[in-house]
């Protein structure tokens, strides 16, 4: 039987959580704890010539920098490795192994780069390093592509070939299939590794599957302290070490890893919080790049069910190669649920004809300037329409719903209150609910804007299309990068604050474009006023 080996990747993969800024003292402390625990390999950071040297960070441009951080530390029997994302560190930045603190270098690469990446591995091997070929997003390989990778690896003969389940998609049957292909076809002198992520909470279970495989070649599994790592995190090394002690006769000192959790790692857990969550479940269950999920979630207009449905429309290679233009187009298509709304428009036109209209929004001024709103209602007796909310202080004649996420949050209260609803066609009612009026989304969206489904713009376009010449608005404060934008803090989005100036400018431009056919009067203070 081959050796069963354990690699700690906390200082490298964990760096995705804190931009590799552990602080010099914690870099040294984690190193010493892992070494004292007797772990076979420790990965101490990235080599990346795009980043300047910083003694507080485990990402650096030159192999000499490893000595500047870790030089003088006792590695005992632990082998020390670094990582290069192929194409981010020139071979000229790597000293020969005998002149460097590192014993090995792991090279990560996507499958379409396998040929030049393996050639780069050969250059590193010639410099004397133990070289690991790390197969990014290994679940994207077909059997034929994997056999081609094996052909290249057998020519280079790296120390190890490691399967990297970048998006945490694998279950044991998938892993077993890949192990079988690689074990049958790789040169017997090449070790086989596994690096997992916990999108499906399978990292630890897959490590056990890997370590249980019956082979004469060496097997290597990765873990990180407390599971610290990219996206949903890694398999916790303290759990793998416990398993290997109990089942494989190892003698890793887990108390050292516990000390590292307490002294060095938990401080980074909040507010970063890695580990299993809904976000990474959605990405993994749809076999897609997590950026697609974050893109759709940041829209703040879709329910989770709708996000899941939209992700299922991703096709082919695009699924794991994030393409913003591609997902934006899919989003527009998904939202554009074309219907014939002529009858509903006619009924609304009759209901609103000749009426003063007051539109209520969620800005803080709806509370701080409540007296102004009360005075306007008392004087004008308007038809009151609220947007994506049920106001606390006033009864409404209509609620305009354009945001599916908000609708899901309000659905029970809407049913209980018997509210009259004007909804855009992208919002799907619950089984018990039905909307009195449904308007075609595609005719109302702001197609040229960054956010095509601005609810205020959509309502103004709807009112103007019904022949309404103007309306009063309260609680539409505009956006601020510094102050709270909503009377309810739960509505606040950081990404909106980052785009505040642009959102305000777009609204002012829209109101200016509409001024000849629709007059907007602001009852409360607003940044939208010219």
Average pLDDT over residues 100-121: 98
Q: How many CB atoms lie within 10 A of CB 143?
A: 10
Q: Which two tokens stand for residue 474?
A: 């309260």
Which residue did the predictor score with more confidence, 429 or 200?
200
Q: Which two tokens stand for residue 32?
A: 């010493």
Percent of the chain with pLDDT over 90: 71
Average pLDDT over residues 400-420: 81
Percent of the chain with pLDDT over 70: 96
Q: What is the reported pLDDT for 499? A: 77
Residue 91's pLDDT band (boundaries 50, 70, 90)? very high
Q: How far apart are CA 342 and CA 323, in angstroms?
A: 36
* Residue that is written with structure tokens 């009259």 in the block: 420
Q: Which two tokens stand for residue 196?
A: 């997992």
Which residue did the predictor score with more confidence, 278 or 145?
145
Q: What is the reported pLDDT for 77? A: 96
Please give the CATH superfamily to which domain 4-272 belongs.
Aldolase class I (3.20.20.70)
Q: What is the reported pLDDT for 488? A: 66
Q: How far apart are CA 424 and CA 17, in angstroms?
A: 39
Q: How far apart are CA 102 and CA 89, in angstroms?
A: 15
Do residues 137 and 167 make contact, with C-beta atoms less than 8 angstroms apart? Answer: yes
Measured in degrees and rounded to the nearest 5, phi and psi for residue 132 equal -110, 125
Average pLDDT over residues 434-462: 86
Whether residue 453 has pLDDT greater than 70 = yes
Residue spans per domain, the chain? 4-272, 286-335, 342-522
Q: Which two tokens stand for residue 101?
A: 């603190």
Q: How far apart are CA 485 and CA 364, in angstroms?
A: 6
Write the CA distances from 471 to 383, 456, 508, 517, integer angstroms: 10, 12, 16, 11
Sheet with 421-424, edge to edge strand ranges? 437-439, 421-424, 398-401, 383-387, 357-360, 470-474, 519-522
Q: What is the reported pLDDT for 414? A: 80
Q: What is the reported pLDDT for 489? A: 59
Average pLDDT over residues 143-155: 98
User: DSSP letter at 21?
Assistant: B
pTM of the model: 0.70
Q: What is the pLDDT of residues 226-269, one digit of tens each?
A: 999 988 999 999 999 999 999 999 999 999 999 999 889 989 98
Q: What is the pLDDT of residues 479-509, one digit of tens each?
A: 877 777 666 655 656 556 667 888 889 999 9
Q: What is the pLDDT of residues 513-525, one digit of tens each?
A: 999 999 999 999 9
Q: What is the reported pLDDT for 530? A: 67
Q: How far apart are CA 132 and CA 304, in angstroms?
A: 39
Q: How far apart are CA 426 and CA 232, in angstroms?
A: 31
Q: What is the reported pLDDT for 490? A: 59
Calculate the average pLDDT of the chain.
Answer: 91
Q: What is the reported pLDDT for 130? A: 98
Q: What is the pLDDT of residues 56-82, one digit of tens each?
A: 999 999 999 999 999 989 999 999 999
């Amino acid at each position: 039987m081959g050796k069963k080996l354990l690699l700690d990747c906390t200082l490298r993969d964990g760096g995705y959580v804190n931009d590799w800024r552990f602080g010099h003292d914690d870099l040294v402390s984690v190193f010493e704890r892992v070494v004292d625990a007797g772990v076979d390999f420790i990965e101490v950071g990235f080599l990346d010539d795009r980043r300047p040297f910083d003694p507080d960070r485990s990402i650096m441009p030159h192999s000499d920098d490893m000595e500047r951080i870790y030089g003088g530390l006792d590695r005992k029997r632990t082998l020390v490795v670094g990582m290069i994302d192929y194409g981010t560190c020139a071979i000229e930045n790597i000293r020969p192994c005998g002149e460097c603190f590192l014993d090995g270098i792991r090279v990560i690469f996507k499958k379409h780069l396998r040929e030049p990446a393996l050639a780069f591995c050969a250059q590193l091997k010639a410099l004397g390093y133990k070289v690991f070929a790390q197969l990014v997003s290994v679940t994207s390989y077909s059997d034929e592509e994997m056999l081609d990778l094996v052909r290249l690896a057998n020519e280079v003969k790296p120390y190890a070939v490691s399967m990297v389940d970048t998006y945490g998609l694998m279950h044991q049957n998938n892993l077993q299939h890949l192990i079988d292909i690689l074990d049958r076809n790789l040169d017997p002198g090449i070790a086989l590794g596994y690096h997992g992520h916990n999108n499906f909470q399978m990292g630890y279970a897959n490590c056990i599957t890997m370590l249980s495989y019956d082979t004469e070649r060496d097997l290597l599994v990765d873990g990180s302290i407390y599971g610290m790592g990219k996206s949903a995190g890694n398999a916790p090394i303290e759990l793998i070490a416990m398993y290997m002690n109990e089942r494989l006769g190892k003698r890793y000192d887990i108390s050292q890893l516990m000390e590292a959790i307490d002294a060095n790692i938990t401080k980074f857990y909040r507010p970063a919080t890695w580990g299993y969550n809904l976000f990474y479940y959605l990405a993994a269950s749809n076999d897609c790049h997590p950026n697609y999920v974050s893109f759709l979630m940041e829209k703040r207009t879709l329910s989770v069910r709708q996000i899941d449905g939209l992700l299922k429309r991703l096709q082919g290679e695009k699924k794991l190669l994030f393409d913003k233009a591609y997902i934006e187009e899919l989003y527009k298509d998904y939202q554009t649920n074309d219907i014939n709304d002529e009858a509903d428009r006619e009924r609304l036109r009759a209901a609103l004809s000749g009426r003063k209209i007051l539109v209520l929004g969620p800005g803080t001024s709806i509370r701080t300037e409540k007296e102004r709103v009360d005075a306007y209602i008392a004087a004008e007796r308007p038809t009151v329409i609220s947007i994506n909310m049920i106001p606390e202080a006033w009864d409404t004649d209509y609620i305009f719903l354009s945001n599916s996420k908000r609708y899901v949050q309000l659905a029970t209260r809407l049913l209980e209150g018997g509210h009259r609803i004007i909804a855009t066609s992208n919002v799907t009612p619950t089984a018990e609910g039905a909307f009195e009026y449904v308007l075609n989304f595609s005719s109302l969206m702001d197609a040229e804007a960054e956010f095509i489904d601005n609810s205020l713009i959509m309502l103004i376009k709807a009112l103007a299309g019904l022949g309404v010449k103007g309306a009063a608005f309260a609680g539409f404060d505009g956006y601020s990068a510094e102050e709270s934008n909503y009377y309810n803090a739960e509505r606040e989005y950081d990404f909106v604050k980052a785009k505040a100036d642009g959102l305000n400018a777009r609204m002012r431009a829209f109101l200016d474009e509409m001024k000849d056919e629709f007059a907007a009067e602001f009852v409360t203070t607003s940044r939208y006023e010219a």
